[in-house]
Structure 1
Amino acid sequence: MAFLRSLVFSTLLLSLLHTAFSFYLPGVAPQDFFKGDVLQVKVNKLTSTKTQLPYSFYSLPYPAPKKIQDSAENLGEVLRGDRIENSLYVFKMREPQMCNVVGKIKLDAKNAKEFKEKINDEYRVNMILDNLPLVVPIKRNDQDSTVYQLGFHVGLKGQYTGSKEEKYFIHNHLAFTVKYHRDVQTESARIVGFEVKPFSVKHEYDGKWDDKKTRLTTCDPHAKHTVVNNNSPQEVEENKEIIFTYDVDFQESDVKWASRWDAYLLMNDDQIHWFSIVNSLMIVLFLSGMVAMIMLRTLYRDIAKYNELETQEEAQEETGWKLVHGDVFRPPNNSDLLCVYVGTGVQFFGMILVTMIFAILGFLSPSNRGGLMTAMLLVWVFMGIFAGYSSTRLYKMFKGSEWKRIALRTATLFPAIVSVIFFILNALIWGQKSSGAVPFGTMFALVFLWFGISVPLVFVGSYIGFKKPAIENPVKTNKIPRQIPEQAWYMNPAFSVLIGGILPFGAVFIELFFILTSIWLNQFYYIFGFLFLVFIILVVTCAEITIVLCYFQLCSEDYLWWWRSYLTSGSSALYLFLYATFYFFTKLEITKLVSAIFYFGYMLIASYAFFVVTGTIGFYACFWFTRLIYSSVKID
């Protein structure tokens, strides 16, 4: 345990130093710009934390280029609902522009209704410049610091000029600020910041409208503050004309290109985050150490007692875990299903481990949009070979012979259940005409990854596993099952299973809060070093709590440990889903039924995956434990 504590402390210290002193993004190449170079602003999806349904930027009647071009998107971006397209916002490097007209639209009843709905649901417009997302700087009242919010609101609603009626106003004038870091020797510059301050301005002009010649009387391009009259916001109503304009200013910054994401990744007060995570890890480590010491001392005493030749007969008459040695390795009910779930859990465990290693190395940083989800899908697919191998090895130990049937169930059971939920949710999102609906081409790609790569790899792993010699049990199994005595109330399977899931959930619930916040409140998550430590603690906790309860179960002469070991640590998924429900009602402001179904559907998938991986950890821990203790005692 001392070694484990020192190892965790060293890893923690290294992750702190790494996060504090550097932030390197492999695979993202810097781009140099010279004065006058054209900068193309791209538009991304419209997002709302109230509906969780993303929409394409041009789903609203914003002025658009003659030809809308989609940027190349990876699988993860499509699944996230990203729709990156070109726009009419074009800058020239280090050349400020004042009161540029983007275009003019006239609202009809349908367009006015669409804008009002998006404003009412607090949708935000997302843009990208040189791979940097657009942010709105907000000064904190209580501190001399600035926080950044991703994107700007489509508009706002409120009362105006003493009217009691609530009206809708659109943000049609954008004051951009592009921050750059200049190279003194080459005079080239790199973009390190992209900010905006949105305004609602009822623009006015003289004469007949001409896109190129008309001069706005509400906008002076020669003044430092281009919006001359901001007392008249642009109302959203039918037959209203809306003129979209923008300014752009360039500011030199001392921030270097390698550190330009720091402002985005420090959007929240992280002191509570760090303190909570460290506190949680230390408590769980302390409890795990205590449990391990008690278990080791108790087991050493039991094994020493059972192995004393003089008291061999006396030991056999006593109650304890040794008495069930002839039944402890008897195959359980529904052993085929257990093999399938264990194989799926191994696949998930491998996916999490490999993905997290890549994330710690920086390859899956927020600048690589969709990279995390793409990596998880691909790694999951290629881990199918380990799923097939694990399930078939266990299946052969249970004296099974039809390995192809087990391989097929391992390859299809979990993905099929998730696919059914996913297709139902996708149909609901498609009915809302959201960009979050997965298109047919992406669906085909997912099906190909499943049946074209994952399924064959599962069969390959199953074939290799079945060709291996069967795992031999350390003790023989009796032909007639031993009768299990009546158990105390606290050893009831349902009670012990529910109790067993509390500690593993306690190891992750604080980190879970930040993960849910990043997913559902549109914030970045980047502390993968801490997440990896929490994952290690989760593995240790699942293993130890399952071993402890398994030991108590065997001491009570109850040898039906196979499924209970899986369910004991896997029950932490129930607490995860309950916490997700609590988070929904306390932190989110979702009002639409479709959005609520969308949230609970995806959290159900996440909880199911958590059940599979934690259950597999607990099962293998008990499998190792039982084989260890029964191979350490002398049995006639």
Structure 2
Amino acid sequence: MAAAMVWWPRFLLLLCLTCKTSTFYVPGVAPINFHQNDLVEIKAVKLTSSRTQLPYEYYSLPFCQPDKITYKAENLGEVLRGDRIVNTPFQVLMNSEKKCEVLCGQASKPVTLTVEQSRLVAERITEDYYVHLIADNLPVATRLELYSNNRDSDDKKKEKDVQFEHGYRLGFTDVNKIYLHNHLSFILYYHREDMEEDQEHTYRVVRFEVIPQSIRLEDLKTDEKSSCILPEGTNSSPQEIDPTKENQLYFTYSVHWEESDIKWASRWDTYLTMSDVQIHWFSIINSVVVVFFLSGILSMIIIRTLRKDIANYNKEDDIEDTMEESGWKLVHGDVFRPPQYPMILSSLLGSGIQLFCMILIVIFVAMLGMLSPSSRGALMTTACFLFMFMGVFGGFSAGRLYRTLKGHRWKKGAFCTATLYPGVVFGICFVLNCFIWGKHSSGAVPFPTMVALLCMWFGISLPLVYLGYYFGFRKQPYDNPVRTNQIPRQIPEQRWYMNRFVGILMAGILPFGAMFIELFFIFSAIWENQFYYLFGFLFLVFIILVVSCSQISIVMVYFQLCAEDYRWWWRNFLVSGGSAFYVLVYAIFYFVNKLDIVEFIPSLLYFGYTALMVLSFWLLTGTIGFYAAYMFVRKIYAAVKID
């Protein structure tokens, strides 16, 4: 331990020194200090569109290229996100202004787009694609100034509301004509660090904005030094792209620097407040209050009713009456009878435990700020590795439950636990990946990465699941308080409200209400390329989700046992995950009302990944509800005297 404590600061110091010698830093370790006229490298990440959900590499379009194209080595999360970070020919120097520069080609010779290139650019513009660049790991943002009337004042002055959107639009359309943003006005903000008098000033980049413009070739004046003069006012026309012929144009850019009071540690605040935070706060607090209030009412009702039941049952035994048993005590000889397909049930519950541990740790670590959006791809990378390593806990819980359910084939059960849920996920992702490959999108997982994931699955997760399953199966099974009769009891005809689908609808509404607002922001982050950053609220909502799922599951299993139906194992698992049904309904609503997806492959991607989300959420909530109900059933039957 002492050696590790000495080694860790040295590693950080080495990492910081490495960061200072390059223009791309490891987020969260140390800022980069720039001096006057130091190169601030502009890198491209990808092209994205909420209409197609297919990211593309920056150089999939005929943008200007540097002499040598260099791709940054991405982590697993960046590869799965479709990020392909690459250098660009933009020459941006710290605190050095540029009025107008021609990006590529000669000033006397514009760039010529072939018919095929023109058609591709026009297609990407009509599909509403955005270009994403980064400077010092800060993503570029486009400033949007919205004006609204001030109702409080008599003269109804218009107030300016400044908002930002990620990246910049590739172009725009107007009256069946397509225009390309071929001039970028970069606005970079720096913070001047306090230095001693004899030292050179150092600067840190704290914001990166862009104003995209479309300027026609004929309206742009150039000279032999690759400089250009922008037209003044409204004297220019936009650069049209005709997809049926060759197009000539200039790619140009300008650079403007402004000093800012924003500290380096707060430079992400602008990017993380691009949504209406006040509505978010109000909705979260409202959900917390409503869920706790309803949960309190349910808890009071169930506890009061249970105390009365237990008192009556024990009183009948003391008096030794010949009164007939009724209610949930009547099925004490069958309530712990093993269900059908115990291996599959224990395997699904083991995967649910694996998901629960992974999600809990990821949210907690992200809440501490270790997985911020500046750590590009870190969240997805951490989630993948944690799911692999949490296999030991999933295997242990599945093995012990399988033995409790009188199972004997532990090796087959371990293999089922390690492959059932991950196999479904991998199969769906592989099929979707084939369609993405067909579109030549950067969102397609490369074949070496897919092989690496398979190696992680069979080399890390599967052995850990077997290890946990072995020890769980060897451990003493759960101690059930009553014995099971040899002959199963006949189940009376059930009322309509005891129908399984009705139970799913009833049990799912409260947990869904607890996480509805967070679900909206998560969907926005996934499908509309937004940042999700309020992990503190997400952790709180996750705790409320666990509480509400547990209490609803207890209420539903109590009603079922009172109706003398002892087949609660599978039913409780399905009903407890009822909120997944509402997630599916909301996903369909979001697709119809929020997204503008009309093509087949983007729709297939949306519903394919949504199916994986719904399946995972069903496993998570079903597992939480099952174990809460199992502990409740054991508790109430241990509290009554049974001959």
> One fold, TM greater than 0.5?
yes
Q: Tell whether the 8 Å contact from 1:54 to 1:435 is kept in structure 2 after alignment.
A: yes
SS at match of 2:241: coil
Alignment of 1:198 with 2:205, yes or no, is no
Matched positions, count: 597
- Distance (Å, rounded) in 2 between the aligned partners of 1:239 and 1:495: 62
Indicate which of 528, 538, 548 corresponds to 1:541: 548
- CA 1:215/1:31 → structure 2, altered by over 3 Å: closer, same or farther? closer
Q: Tell whether the 8 Å contact from 1:306 to 1:312 is kept in structure 2 after alignment.
A: no
SS at match of 1:144: strand
Structure 2: segments with no counterpart, 5+ residues: 1-25, 106-110, 149-158
Within 5 Å, give how 1:3-152 maps onto structure 2: 27-104=28-105, 105-142=111-148, 143-152=159-168
Indicate which of 589, 602, 612 corresponds to 1:605: 612
- Distance (Å, rounded) in 1 between the aligned partners of 2:85 and 2:60: 13
Q: CA deviation at 1:442?
A: 1.1
Q: CA deviation at 1:444?
A: 1.3
Q: Which letter does structure 2 place at the counterpart of 1:48?
A: S
Q: CA deviation at 1:313?
A: 4.0
Map of 1:22 onto structure 2? none
- Distance (Å, rounded) in 2 between the aligned partners of 1:178 and 1:630: 68
Q: CA deviation at 1:364?
A: 0.8
Map of 1:569 onto structure 2? 576
Q: Which letter does structure 1 place at the counterpart of 2:173?
A: K
Q: Tell whether the 8 Å contact from 1:305 to 1:315 is kept in structure 2 after alignment.
A: no
Task: Encode CA deviations 1:339-360: one digit per residue, 9 max, x unaligned.
Answer: 1111010000000000011100
Alignment of 1:425 with 2:439, yes or no, is no
Q: Tell whether the 8 Å contact from 1:101 to 1:244 is kept in structure 2 after alignment.
A: yes
- CA 1:502/1:206 → structure 2, altered by over 3 Å: closer, same or farther? closer
Task: Encode CA deviations 1:50-70: one digit per residue, 9 max, x unaligned.
Answer: 111100110001110122111
Task: Encode CA deviations 1:488-516: one digit per residue, 9 max, x unaligned.
Answer: 22122332233212222122122111111
Indicate which of 174, 194, 209 corresponds to 1:158: 174
Q: Which letter does structure 1 place at the counterpart of 2:367?
A: I
Map of 1:234 onto structure 2? 239
Within 5 Å, give how 1:322-361 maps onto structure 2: 322-361=329-368
Map of 1:251 onto structure 2? 258
Map of 2:6 onto structure 1? none
- CA 1:315/1:243 → structure 2, altered by over 3 Å: closer, same or farther? farther
- CA 1:316/1:31 → structure 2, altered by over 3 Å: closer, same or farther? farther
- Distance (Å, rounded) in 2 between the aligned partners of 1:125 and 1:201: 18
Q: Tell whether the 8 Å contact from 1:169 to 1:235 is kept in structure 2 after alignment.
A: yes
Q: Tell whether the 8 Å contact from 2:219 to 2:236 is kept in structure 1 after alignment.
A: no
Q: Tell whether the 8 Å contact from 1:202 to 1:242 is kept in structure 2 after alignment.
A: yes
Q: CA deviation at 1:232?
A: 2.1
Q: CA deviation at 1:284?
A: 0.7
- Distance (Å, rounded) in 1 between the aligned partners of 2:190 and 2:240: 35
Q: CA deviation at 1:227?
A: 5.8
Within 5 Å, give how 1:229-308 maps onto structure 2: 231-237=236-242, 238-308=245-315
- CA 1:537/1:45 → structure 2, altered by over 3 Å: closer, same or farther? same
Q: CA deviation at 1:487?
A: 1.6
Q: Tell whether the 8 Å contact from 1:305 to 1:311 is kept in structure 2 after alignment.
A: no
Q: Which letter does structure 2 place at the counterpart of 1:151?
A: G
- CA 1:328/1:241 → structure 2, altered by over 3 Å: closer, same or farther? same
Map of 1:189 onto structure 2? 203
Map of 1:437 onto structure 2? 444
Q: CA deviation at 1:297?
A: 1.1
Map of 2:11 onto structure 1? none
Map of 2:408 onto structure 1? 401
Q: Tell whether the 8 Å contact from 1:65 to 1:86 is kept in structure 2 after alignment.
A: yes
Q: CA deviation at 1:318?
A: 3.4
Q: Tell whether the 8 Å contact from 1:26 to 1:363 is kept in structure 2 after alignment.
A: no
Structure 1: segments with no counterpart, 5+ residues: 1-24, 160-165, 221-225
Identity of aligned residues (%): 52
SS at match of 2:147: coil
Q: Which letter does structure 2 place at the counterpart of 1:415?
A: P
- Distance (Å, rounded) in 1 between the aligned partners of 2:495 and 2:448: 57
Task: Encode CA deviations 1:183-204: one digit per residue, 9 max, x unaligned.
Answer: 1325211110000101111234
Map of 2:185 onto structure 1? 175
Q: CA deviation at 1:571?
A: 2.0
Q: Tell whether the 8 Å contact from 2:500 to 2:575 is kept in structure 1 after alignment.
A: no
- Distance (Å, rounded) in 2 between the aligned partners of 1:313 and 1:500: 38
- Distance (Å, rounded) in 2 between the aligned partners of 1:416 and 1:99: 54
Q: Tell whether the 8 Å contact from 1:175 to 1:246 is kept in structure 2 after alignment.
A: yes
- Distance (Å, rounded) in 2 between the aligned partners of 1:566 and 1:182: 58
Map of 1:372 onto structure 2? 379
Q: CA deviation at 1:231?
A: 1.5
Q: Tell whether the 8 Å contact from 2:101 to 2:227 is kept in structure 1 after alignment.
A: no
Map of 1:20 onto structure 2? none
- Distance (Å, rounded) in 1 between the aligned partners of 2:57 and 2:309: 66
- Distance (Å, rounded) in 2 between the aligned partners of 1:504 and 1:316: 40
Map of 1:5 onto structure 2? none
SS at match of 1:347: helix
Q: CA deviation at 1:214?
A: 5.2
Q: CA deviation at 1:228?
A: 7.1
Within 5 Å, give how 1:481-520 maps onto structure 2: 481-520=488-527
Q: Which letter does structure 1 place at the counterpart of 2:129?
A: Y
- CA 1:541/1:230 → structure 2, altered by over 3 Å: closer, same or farther? farther
- Distance (Å, rounded) in 1 between the aligned partners of 2:432 and 2:319: 62
Q: CA deviation at 1:551?
A: 0.6
Map of 1:9 onto structure 2? none
Q: What CA RMSD, in Å, does the superposition of the two structures yield over aligned residues?
A: 1.8
- Distance (Å, rounded) in 1 between the aligned partners of 2:364 and 2:588: 30
Q: CA deviation at 1:205?
A: 9.1
- CA 1:106/1:588 → structure 2, altered by over 3 Å: closer, same or farther? same
- Distance (Å, rounded) in 2 between the aligned partners of 1:44 and 1:537: 37
SS at match of 1:168: strand
Map of 1:631 onto structure 2? 638
- Distance (Å, rounded) in 1 between the aligned partners of 2:591 and 2:235: 38
Q: Which letter does structure 1 place at the counterpart of 2:622?
A: G
Indicate which of 208, 225, 231 corresponds to 1:213: 225
**236-245 or 430-439, which deviates more:** 236-245
Q: Tell whether the 8 Å contact from 2:102 to 2:226 is kept in structure 1 after alignment.
A: no
SS at match of 2:566: coil
- Distance (Å, rounded) in 1 between the aligned partners of 2:42 and 2:260: 20
Q: Which letter does structure 1 place at the counterpart of 2:208?
A: F
Map of 1:451 onto structure 2? 458
Within 5 Å, give how 1:553-592 maps onto structure 2: 553-592=560-599
**406-415 or 562-571, which deviates more:** 562-571
Q: CA deviation at 1:145?
A: 3.0
- Distance (Å, rounded) in 1 between the aligned partners of 2:322 and 2:454: 58
SS at match of 2:160: coil
- Distance (Å, rounded) in 2 between the aligned partners of 1:71 and 1:424: 28
- Distance (Å, rounded) in 2 between the aligned partners of 1:114 and 1:345: 45
- Distance (Å, rounded) in 2 between the aligned partners of 1:577 and 1:261: 33
Q: Tell whether the 8 Å contact from 1:178 to 1:195 is kept in structure 2 after alignment.
A: yes
Q: Tell whether the 8 Å contact from 1:205 to 1:214 is kept in structure 2 after alignment.
A: no
Task: Encode CA deviations 1:391-447: one digit per residue, 9 max, x unaligned.
Answer: 110011112121111000000000111111101111111111111111112111211
- CA 1:393/1:37 → structure 2, altered by over 3 Å: closer, same or farther? same
- CA 1:239/1:563 → structure 2, altered by over 3 Å: closer, same or farther? same
Q: Tell whether the 8 Å contact from 2:342 to 2:407 is kept in structure 1 after alignment.
A: no
Map of 1:14 onto structure 2? none
Q: Tell whether the 8 Å contact from 1:206 to 1:215 is kept in structure 2 after alignment.
A: no
Q: Which letter does structure 2 place at the counterpart of 1:169?
A: Y
